[in-house]
């Protein structure tokens, strides 16, 4: 079945079996060039958002975003994730206080360095302004002691949660919804605020809502904090340090004109 | 710009500026229902692959797959990932030996339990059969000691690498290319085999190539090892343990007919 025809003339002729297959998430082995291009562009258009409009995210969108997260791979099919939807301003104020505390330590670290003024000018979270916060957690004890495949690498449980978070982020972008990951938090404090039981760990604290804008390139790149690395320099062949020479070094998300400016 | 028209009559009229925007990864704020459906189906059709055809993955596909990975978000725009492309059968034989060793310990753990025979029948990796292995690493020392946003949660560096891995996995699926994550490995042994320097950590060891098939549901679900959890049970409101009642409990990737069997 060619997905790009889903909205075309064939749609009316879809049998109920084909419709069931479609709802089951079946896609052809390889997508069409146009569909692949859409996937690539969506991935490159995803941004870490800190400035939000106040409008609520409709439930149907939120449901699709969380369903995408839940379809992520996990070690031993463990599905160790939970999603805590936080609207309470009181709870968010407590989280925000944890952020402020950590962030003021960060500002102190950078005092007197070249990047201090730039850092102080940055907006790093949208905890109070976004209509919704989502805490994503990892339940290490899910399924008991034995999890297929987790033996020597117990970190694969939190890693699985991160795979779900990227699905969530991409599905949100497809819905026009922005996501910002707040990492400057005291994890233990946040775990206490949210009442996480022992064995359940905070992986990510996300701000979710409609963004003021999806900028063409990441904020830290735009303000000159950091450049995007050349992909070729990150790919090795057979062993660490052996160049693979595979890429053309086109930085994703940067039009040629913008690249020459740096 | 409506992406679904990219292959339609408007294509010929695209100005070079529009073409540059398109190559820059710009998509509309919200995709069309058909495009969103494609994203959802792609996410649900992604599988952990263990059985591969021997055919090599063409370089242009590999390039797009790695570009998608490189477009992932990272803490402080750190981009801490590297990708080691492994074709050498000698190297892979060494990795395979590490897997065998860990896996035989796992078989021993399950001896005498109800799941022992089922476990022993499972194929858990395609290290030798797949045309390509990719080791994905995290360079904790990249950018030196200070990374914006990493202060209290140093694990956000490896978490960023996992976000890149999910991008890689989805882009591969769009290209008809399968990916299998081998987690039953002695991490230190693999790091030594690949010559990783101190401060660089193995995050994932992936087998990559054309799969024998993309099955409709995950292997561990298909063989009855584990069920997919009801998403509703994983979503809380405000605090851990408070049901949100948000979802309709449609398990992703499972057509209604298959769901009633469980």
ipTM: 0.88
**Percent residues over pLDDT 70 in chain B:** 84
Q: What stretch(es) of chain A map to CATH 3.40.109.10?
A: 45-218
User: B82–A32: do the CB atoms touch at under 8 Å?
Assistant: no
| Angstroms from B2 CA to nearest CA on chain A | 11
Are the C-beta atoms of A181 and A204 separated by less than 8 Å?
yes
Band (pLDDT 50/70/90 cuts) for residue B248 is: low
DSSP A52: B
With CA atoms as reference, the chain B residue closest to A66 would be: B231
Residue with the larger pLDDT of the pair A94 and A245: A94
Fold of A45-218: NADH Oxidase (3.40.109)
Three-class SS of residue A6?
A: coil
- The stretch B74-87 carries a mean pLDDT of 97
Per the model's pLDDT, the better-predicted residue between B37 and B22 turns out to be: B37
State whether the Cα torsion B61-B63-B66-B70 is positive or negative: negative
Q: Do residue B22 and residue A7 have CB atoms under 8 angstroms apart?
A: no
Closest partner CB to A151 (pick from B106, B174, B196): B106
Which sign, positive or negative, has the C-alpha torsion A44, A48, A51, A53? positive
Listed residue (A140, A177, A190) closest to B240, CA to CA: A190
CB contact under 8 A, B155 and A153: no
**pLDDT at residue A245, as a whole number:** 81
What single string gives the DSSP state of each residue in chain B? --GGGTTSGGGGG--HHHHHHHHTT---SS--HHHHHHHHHHHHH--B---B-SPPPPHHHHHHHHHHHHTS--GGG---EEEEEE--HHHHHHHHHHHHHHHHHHHHHHTTSTTHHHHHT-----TTTSSEEEEEEEETTTT-S--TT-SS-TTHHHHHHHHHHHHHHHHHHHTT-EEEEE--S-HHHHHHHTTPPTTEEEEEEEEEE-BS---SS-HHHHTTS-PPPPGGGGEEESSTT-B--------TT--HHHHHH-
In chain A, which residues have their Cβ closer than 8 Å to the Cβ of B42?
27, 31, 39
B48-214: CATH homologous superfamily? NADH Oxidase (3.40.109.10)
Tell me the pLDDT tens digit for each residue of A70-90. Answer: 999 999 999 999 999 999 999
Contact check, Cβ <8 Å, A159/B203:
yes
B149 to A187: CB separation less than 8 angstroms, yes or no: no
Give the per-residue pLDDT at B47. 97
Q: Kindly determine whether residue B185 and residue A153, on different chains, have CB atoms separated by under 8 Å.
A: yes
- Per cent of chain A over pLDDT 70 is 84
What local confidence, expressed as pLDDT, does residue B12 receive? 31
What are the start and end residues of each CATH 3.40.109.10 domain in chain B? 48-214
The gap between the terminal CA atoms of chain B, to the nearest Å, is: 44
Contacts of B29 in chain A (CB under 8 A): 176, 214
Q: Which of A19-33, A55-69, B40-54 shows the lowest per-residue confidence on average (mean pLDDT)? A: A19-33
Q: How far apart are CA A127 and CA A49, in angstroms?
A: 11
CA–centroid distance for B247 within its chain: 25
Q: Do B194 and A24 touch (CB under 8 A)?
A: no
Task: Check residue B25 and give its pLDDT.
Answer: 53
Strand order in the sheet with A235-237: A235-237, B81-86, B132-139, B200-209, B178-182
Shortest CA gap B256–chain A (Å): 7
Q: Name the token pair of B24.
A: 């820059």
Contact criterion met (CB < 8 Å) for A43 and B171: yes
Q: Which residues of B are less than 8 Å from A146 in CB distance?
A: 109-110
Question: How crowded is the C-beta side of B123, counted as CA atoms within 13 Å?
Answer: 12
CA distance to partner chain A, nearest, from residue B10 (Å): 13
The answer to whether residue B200 scores a pLDDT higher than 60 is yes
Contact assignment for A48 to B73 by CB distance below 8 Å: yes
Number of other residues whose CB lies within 10 A of the CB of residue A88: 13
Look at residue A246 in the predicted model and tell me its pLDDT. 78
- pLDDT at residue A210, as a whole number: 98
Cα separation of B23 and B16, whole Å?
A: 10
pLDDT at position B256 is 36
- Which of A151, A158, A205, A219 to probe by mutation at the B interface, max B CB count within 10 Å? A151
Which chain A residues touch B254 with a CB distance below 8 Å?
Answer: 24
Q: B257 to chain A: which residues are within 8 Å by CB?
A: 20
Q: Which residues of B touch A200 (CB under 8 A)?
A: 240
Name the residue of chain B whose CA is nearest to A104's CA.
B151
Q: Looking at beta carbons, which residues of chain B come within 8 Å of A106? A: 148, 151
Does residue B63 carry a pLDDT above 80?
yes
Which residues on chain B are in Cβ contact (under 8 Å) with A254? 24
**What was the pLDDT predicted at B138?**
98
Q: Which of A28, A69, A77 to mutate to test the interface with B (most CBs of B within 10 A)?
A: A77
Residue B15: burial class (beta carbons within 10 Å; 0-12, 13-18, 19+): exposed
> Which residues of chain A have a CB within 8 Å of the CB of B176?
28-31
User: Confidence band (pLDDT; 50, 70, 90) for B246?
Assistant: confident
Q: Considering only A1-5, B77-81, B246-250, which range has the smallest mean pLDDT?
A: A1-5
């Amino acid at each position: 079945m060619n997905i790009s025809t889903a909205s075309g003339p064939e749609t009316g002729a879809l049998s109920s079996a084909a419709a069931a297959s479609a709802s089951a998430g079946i896609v052809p082995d390889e997508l069409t060039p146009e569909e692949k291009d859409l996937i690539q562009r969506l991935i490159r258009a995803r941004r870490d958002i800190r400035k939000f409009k106040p409008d609520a995210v409709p439930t149907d969108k939120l449901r699709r975003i969380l369903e995408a997260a839940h379809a992520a791979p996990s070690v031993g099919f463990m599905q160790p994730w939970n999603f805590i939807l936080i609207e309470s301003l009181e709870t968010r104020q407590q989280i925000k206080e944890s952020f402020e505390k950590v962030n003021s330590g960060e500002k102190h670290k950078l005092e007197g360095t070249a990047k201090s003024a730039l850092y102080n000018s940055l907006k790093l979270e949208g905890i109070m302004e976004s209509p919704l916060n989502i805490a994503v957690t990892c339940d290490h004890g899910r399924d008991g002691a034995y999890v297929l495949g987790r033996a020597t690498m117990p970190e694969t449980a939190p890693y699985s949660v991160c795979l779900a978070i990227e699905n969530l982020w991409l599905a949100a972008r497809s819905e026009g919804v922005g996501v910002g990951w707040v990492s400057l938090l005291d994890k233990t404090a946040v775990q206490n605020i949210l009442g996480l039981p022992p064995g359940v760990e905070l992986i990510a604290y996300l701000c979710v809502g409609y963004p003021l804008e999806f900028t063409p390139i990441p904020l830290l790149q735009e303000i000159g904090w950091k450049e995007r690395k050349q992909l070729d320099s990150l790919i090795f062949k057979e062993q660490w340090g052996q160049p693979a020479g595979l890429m053309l070094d086109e930085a994703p998300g940067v039009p040629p004109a913008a690249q020459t400016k740096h």
